[in-house]
Amino acid sequence: MDIAKEPKEILELYGAEPGKSSYANNCLLARRLAERGVRFIQLCHRDWDHHGGLPEGIKTQTKNTDQASAALIKDLKQRGLLEDTLVIWGGEFGRTAYSQGEIKKDDFGRDHHPRCFSLWLAGGGIKPGLVYGATDDFGYNITENPVSVHDLHATMLQCLGIDHTRFTYRFEGRDFRLTDVSGEVVTPLLV
């Protein structure tokens, strides 16, 4: 767990600083865990809930996450780990494209959005460089290639080598599956 043993160029790639707590350090630790065969790694990064203070808040969050997230993908790829490692990057829900609350040049927010949501996936059988789905000009309604949560989960399970229709558990006399009674693998996302 001591990232101080990493070469200087790797620390710089991630923006990691030994002895500090940061998303960059966590991304580097995730790579180290993946190298050692850990099968599931989850990173959490807080303070994305910008109902106010969005202009400065989003700059801070992207500064804290963009370099390290890109470094994780690059580092996994150069070590030959990306093709067998599924990386999923997303938040808790979508955000409206319009502002919330009083609108000032440097202080406004965005509310939750139930219809549209963006995330990205890399490695683990995902086709690189593909944008899948689209919204209207306001980012309010899906206009092309909707993907339900069940479809996303079916696709993720497929990448992990699991047929979501057969991955069931019996409870109170019924076979349950993680994708419930729906979900289709989104094959255009797969290599």
In DSSP notation, the chain reads: --GGGS-HHHHHHHT--TTS--HHHHHHHHHHHHHTT-S-----------SS-HHHHHHHHHHHHHHHHHHHHHHHHHTT-GGG--EEE--SSEE-SS-EEEEETTEEE--EESS----EEESTTBPTT----EE-TTS-SEEE----HHHHHHHHHHHTT--TTT-EEEETTEEEETTTT-----GGGB-
Q: Residue 107: is its pLDDT beyond 90?
A: no
CA 169/CA 173 separation, integer angstroms: 10
Q: Mean pLDDT over residues 103-117, rounded?
A: 84
Rounded to whole angstroms, how far apart are CA atoms 83 and 182?
28
CB 56 within 8 A of CB 104: no
Q: How many other C-beta atoms are found inside a 10 Å radius of the C-beta of residue 92?
A: 9
Full-model pTM: 0.87
Give the tokens for residue 130.
């593909």
Average pLDDT, the chain: 91
Alpha-carbon span 76 to 68, nearest angstrom: 12
Mean pLDDT check: name the lowest of 63-72, 74-83, 102-111.
102-111
- pLDDT single digits (tens) 158-183: 999 999 999 888 899 988 888 888 89
Of 121, 100, 126, 122, nearest to 111 (Cα)? 100
pLDDT above 90: residue 100: no
